[in-house]
Chain A
Amino acid sequence: MAIAKRSRTELATQRFEYAPAPESTDHVKIEKRYDLFIGGRMVKAHSQKRFPTINPSNEEKLSEVVEADEVDVDRAVKAASKAFDSWSRIGASRRARYLFRISRILQERARELAVVETMDGGKPIKESRDVDIPLSAAHFFYYAGWADKLEWAFPNVKPRPIGVAGQVIPWNFPLLMLAWKIAPALAAGNTVVLKPAETTPLSALLFADICMQAELPDGVVNILTGAGKTGSLVVSHPAVRKVAFTGSTEVGKLIQRSLAGTGKRLTLELGGKAANIVFEDAPLDAAVEGIVNGIYFNQGHVCCAGSRLLVQESIFEPLLEKLKIRLGTLRLGDPLDKNTDIGAINSKAQLEKIAGLVESGVEEGAELFQPECKLPERGYWFPPTLFTNVSQSYRIAREEIFGPVLSVLTFRTPDEAVEKANNTPYGLSAGVWTDKGSRILWMAERMRAGVVWANTFNRFDPTSPFGGYKESGYGREGGLHGLLPYLELS
């Protein structure tokens, strides 16, 4: 046994050298500067302010975008209002056809979109290529089919669109979050003004081009770049009747407060601090992969990331050993390289936040583990990190880090696992690893979270509703339930 154990360790820690395998960028054309997408075309902004969007893996400037101001927001909302009259009436099957068309173009231009997503956001190309872009296309395809079937989905209540939707999305899955917002909104007959995140505007601007290519009627989709100020102008514009926000709980609360008394419809998809619970009968190797996928996927920039690992005490040591070995094999580096597992941290600000929280973990007494990992000299990087000896009261066990940092806690009984898992103001997701089907459902019943993954983690599908309990927000995206935020029922 001892021999087998040692040889396994040696094998796993052996250095495998990989030749660089970067995805080429020559078929991608990024403009030097972008305007705003209003009323069906790219128009010169009123705002004179521009800011650069950079590649976080090398800090090189990719392009310059506009910080849209009040006049720009007003123009976009007016364009969307004007378009609403016809879009909500053009005939549902025609709406469906436009959405199908968009979905197809997303598939046709998948490689271009994947490369741009990776350059602008820092995520590994294998993730943008295999997850972000295909899921975005699938989302449009799914909701396209709903456009002319709403009465079947919600009988007896005359489903009707709401009007102009103001949508503000985050930087972790830029195109996918755009798809989650725009596809159901349009299927239901609304028009949209969308603001992509400050650090990742490029795929949304490419999407503007796709709307033009699809000959989507003018003004149905409008895209305004900018930072927080632009976002707040979008959600507070009086002609916006529905607001959808994905981002931090802190900003979500500000938006909920700011919309008080306006009568606007609001859905929020906010932060999380998900428990990933591993029982002693779980298939350990699969669980290790799931834990890694749960927290190191997309550098941990995932609202539903499994950032608290709850391990049954009896398997703590073998699981941790396997996990640490696995961390040592993760390849961190050039996001465009097809072998890269961990890309760049999205921004300097985020890197500082992660570093600060990790520091607090060490100060509070947790034990830090980081595999030997050479960080590139330029760009924003953080090695995969794991904390043991974590108390529930530590900041790293309570606060959303939004980075590749895992806190490991233990439990003895299923009840204790439930108690610890739910001991958070968040409630977005949870993971359960066990070989026993009845235990999966028993645990799933008790998790105060909107999504429960069993023997898997961070899995998404357009048909599967996603969204939180408690301070993780309200409303669902995906599935039949994802239509509800964009409909009036009476």
Chain B
Amino acid sequence: MDVRKTYKLYVGGEFVRSESGRAYRPDGSVNVPRGSRKDLRDAVRAARSAVGGWSARTAMNRGQILYRAAEMLDGRRSQFVDVLGGGRASAREVEQAVEALVWYAGWTDKLAQVTGNTNPVAGPYFNFTIPEPTGVVGIVAPEEPALAGLVRRIAPALCGGNAVVVLVPESHPLPGLTLAEVLATSDLPGGVVNVLAGYRKELLPWLAAHMDVNAIDVAGCTPAEVASIEKAAADNVKRVVKRPADEMSPHLITAFMEMKTVWHPIGV
């Protein structure tokens, strides 16, 4: 007889039920917590408290932790293949997810070198531009591929030093919720990644309108959802990241970042 797993949300480094006490059964059997607006607010608060510490980590350290996440995921390959439905396609998808984590792990300490500059201004200043995390990022993961699609967005956002609030696919939440278990054992500080499941229509409007979310990634949204997100995002000039769902690029990392330019005086 199996010891079954209770699927939970992952907020502030803890596995929790929805405060609403609600659940839904997307595949007809497993109970999945149906996150509420309050859960979302808690997740944003957890992300906000975590982002300072995470972004202050050295780039090397962030890279090591992302690599550790790849290791943890790799160690659970067979579990994820099962969660994804089994077969070759699932195995390929897990490999893609591992690859994304490894790839972005290697970017943390190279990004500023590739996307930052020193600028030869006409004056006695050492002027440089460096990327910095935008802060709290909301990620709406694509329905498919449920695991690789999610990892391909979380990894670049974390790589840049952001904290994220993730809405896993409504119809296919288990890979994302299971990924939280990987992240929880990767030395990521609590609150850096927060994973919510539930009805998209109950969570998305609040994520898009939340005044303490700096950017929202809409890779998993329909055009109609994108339009309403963009409208709500304007309330705090939120960055809406609209880029191909399968993109792997340093420009995707900087889409979750701000460029800061510093004028430092030169003189004796």
Contacts and interface: CB of A to CB of B under 8 A. Distances in A.
B230 A259 contact: yes
Contact of B237 (A256, A260, A452): A256
Nearest to B129: A465
A42 to B, nearest CB: 35
Interface in A456-476: 456, 459, 461, 463-467, 469-474, 476
B261 A465 contact: yes
Contacts, number: 117
A217 interface: no
A474 B230 contact: no
Nearest to B120: A463
A35 to B, nearest CB: 35
B268 interface: no
- Which 10 A-B residue pairings sit nearest by Cβ, starting from the closest? A261-B227, A260-B230, A256-B234, A461-B121, A260-B231, A257-B234, A463-B119, A455-B265, A471-B237, A253-B234
Interface string B237-252: 1010000100001010
Contacts of A474: 237, 239, 258
B79 interface: no
Nearest to A460: B121
Contact of A268 (B223, B226, B237): B237
A473 B233 CA distance: 12
Interface residues of A, number: 46
A441 B263 contact: no
A226 B192 CA distance: 47
Contacts of B226: 260-261
B33 to A, nearest CB: 30
Contacts of A425: 236
A449 interface: yes
Interface residues of B, number: 36
Given A257-B234, A450-B261, A479 B129 contact: yes
A78 B231 CA distance: 28
A474 B244 CA distance: 20
Nearest to A447: B260
Q: Is the interface of B mostly helix, strand, loop or mixed?
A: mixed
A257 B120 CA distance: 37
A157 interface: yes
Given A450-B258, A459-B123, A253 B264 contact: no
Contacts of B233: 256, 260
A249 B223 CA distance: 26
Contacts of A464: 119, 121, 127, 129, 261, 263
A454 B129 CA distance: 14
23 contacts: A253-B234, A256-B230, A256-B233, A260-B234, A261-B224, A261-B228, A447-B260, A450-B258, A450-B259, A451-B261, A452-B260, A452-B261, A452-B263, A453-B263, A454-B262, A456-B265, A461-B119, A461-B121, A465-B129, A465-B259, A473-B237, A476-B259, A481-B259
